[in-house]
């Protein structure tokens, strides 16, 4: 048995990767230079370092004929299971986010409004955003996964965690649901890190849509660096390069808006340059990822020309930043991605590279 994620793959263009990651890809780094029993042991060791959050209860957020449907996660789950990828991850139980935890990010009126709408049988929180009877509980479970993952990573239980959750969160504002999002999961994660004493957190948002909710929540907070690459002009309309933070947070927001016709190569070169520069400025103690996959060229509501393979180098880029500044600590949360089969392939790539990240050290 060799590492299934690398066996038989063609050589990649590695010219822009740091040396440690080039070694990882080429199978020449520590822990991967030998095949056979040692490779198996290393593979198992690396595998044990990724904590995976998934749960069938996430399917109970019932949106009907809507792009953000339970079918997305069903397809992802089936694909990961068939590929044997979930066998190699650690799992834990976790609690839904407490009221107090949600209140660190959201206004009480927003939470009670969602709860009451769900209890009343559901409705629409905004024209795009459906609330079903189970949606508030499912949202709390998603936010709870985000919070739990941060706690465990900061405690040193694991270096990296991936939460395959829904509904997504990065459009949700402190006081409003928006754009399929009810609670802002990544903001809950960042606030959890701040509440246990971290001073510098980096959020990398590569969903094709601008993470307006996340940006707004931390716009004046110097402890949270927010980096977003997104299609622009596009929904939700925010995310220009001129939005850089305010007050004490001035300079801790970095937007990279890209035209629809941006080529994958141009996307890559700009992200690498801007993200490396911003990470050096923030020097994060923890890296959080708003992992949306709707910038794939086949996404029905997004699309920015990316291929599945682009989520390989994107993941490596954040792994390298985490290894450089944050003791390798990453928590990645699923955001968008609305072509279920493509989403499944993108998540598989992301998972594999997160899992392998430890060997890059
Ligand atoms: Zn999106």
Give the lowest-confidence range in 43-47, 121-125, 328-332, 333-337.
43-47
Residue 28, in any domain of the structure: no
Q: What is the DSSP string of 284-309?
A: -SEEEEEE--TTBTT-SS---SB-TT
Q: Which residue has the tokens 């929180």?
A: 125
Per-residue pLDDT reduced to its tens digit, 108-129: 999 999 999 999 999 999 999 9
Tell how far the Cα of 294 is from the centroid of ligand 1, in angstroms.
Answer: 6
The CA 153 to ligand 1 mean position distance, Å, reads 26
257 sits in which H/E element: strand 253-258
Q: Which of 41-45, 89-93, 121-125 has the lowest mean pLDDT?
A: 41-45
What residue spans of 27-178 are helical by DSSP H?
37-47, 70-82, 99-103, 108-119, 135-155
Extract the tokens encoding 183.
């609670």
Residue 79 among the catalytic residues: no
**104 in a structural domain:** yes
pLDDT band at 87 (very low <50, low <70, confident <90, very high): confident
Does residue 320 have a pLDDT over 60? yes
Task: Determine the pLDDT at residue 357.
Answer: 81
**Does residue 210 lie within any of the structural domains?**
yes
Q: Is residue 294 part of a domain?
A: yes
Distance 19 CA to ligand 1 centre (A): 32
Distance 144 CA to ligand 1 centre (A): 21
> What average pLDDT does this structure show over 207-235?
98
Spatial distance between the Cα atoms of 4 and 326, rounded to a whole number of angstroms:
28
CB of 308 closer than 8 Å to CB of 338: no
Instruction: Tell me which residue of 308, 189, 295 sits closest to 235, measured CA to CA.
Output: 295
Is position 14 within any domain? no
What CATH number corresponds to the domain at position 88? 3.40.800.20
Domain that holds residue 151: 51-360
Q: Is the pLDDT of residue 23 over 50?
A: no
Task: Tell me the three state secondary structure of residue 282.
Answer: helix
34 inside domain: no
Question: Is 332 contained in some domain?
Answer: yes
Beta bridge pairs of residue 126: 129
**The token pair that represents 120 in the structure block:** 């009343």
Domain presence at residue 45: no
How much is the average pLDDT of 178-198? 98
Considering its fold, how many domains does the chain have in total? 1
Pairing of strands 50-53, 160-163: parallel
- Helices and strands per DSSP (H, E), number in the chain: 11, 9
Q: Out of 171, 176, 210, 230, pick the active-site residue.
A: 171
Averaged pLDDT for residues 232-242:
98
């Amino acid at each position: 048995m060799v590492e299934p994620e690398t066996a038989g793959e063609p050589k990649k263009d590695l010219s822009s990767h740091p040396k440690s990651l080039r070694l990882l890809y080429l199978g020449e780094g520590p822990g991967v230079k030998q095949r056979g029993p040692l490779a198996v042991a290393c593979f198992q060791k690396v595998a044990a370092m990724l904590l995976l959050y998934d749960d069938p209860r996430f399917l109970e957020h019932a949106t009907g004929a809507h792009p953000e449907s339970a079918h997305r996660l069903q397809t992802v789950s089936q694909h990961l299971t068939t590929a044997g990828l979930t066998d190699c991850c650690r799992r834990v139980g976790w609690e839904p986010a407490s009221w107090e935890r949600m209140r660190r990010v959201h206004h009480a009126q927003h939470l009670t409004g969602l709860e009451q709408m769900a209890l009343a049988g559901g409705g629409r929180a905004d024209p795009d955003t459906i609330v079903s009877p189970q949606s508030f509980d499912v949202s709390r479970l998603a936010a709870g996964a985000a919070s739990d993952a941060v706690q465990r990573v900061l405690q040193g239980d694991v270096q990296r965690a991936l939460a395959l959750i829904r509904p997504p969160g990065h459009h949700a504002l402190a006081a409003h649901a928006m754009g399929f999002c009810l609670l802002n999961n990544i903001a809950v994660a960042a606030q959890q890190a701040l509440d246990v004493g971290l001073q510098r957190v980096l959020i990398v948002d590569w969903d094709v849509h601008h993470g307006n909710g996340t940006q707004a929540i931390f716009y004046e907070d110097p402890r949270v660096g927010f980096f977003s690459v997104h299609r622009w002009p596009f929904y939700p309309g925010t995310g220009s390069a001129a939005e850089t933070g305010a007050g004490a947070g001035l300079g801790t927001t970095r937007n990279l808006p890209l035209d629809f016709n941006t080529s994958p190569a141009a996307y890559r070169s700009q992200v690498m340059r801007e993200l490396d520069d911003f990470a050096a400025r923030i020097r994060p103690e923890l890296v959080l990822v708003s992992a949306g996959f709707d910038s794939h060229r086949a996404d029905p509501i997004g699309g920015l020309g990316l291929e599945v393979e682009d989520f390989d180098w994107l993941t490596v880029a954040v792994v390298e930043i985490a290894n450089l500044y944050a003791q390798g600590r990453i928590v990645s949360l699923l955001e968008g991605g609305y072509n279920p089969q493509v989403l499944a392939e993108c998540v598989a790539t992301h998972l594999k590279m997160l899992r392998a990240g430890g060997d890059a050290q």
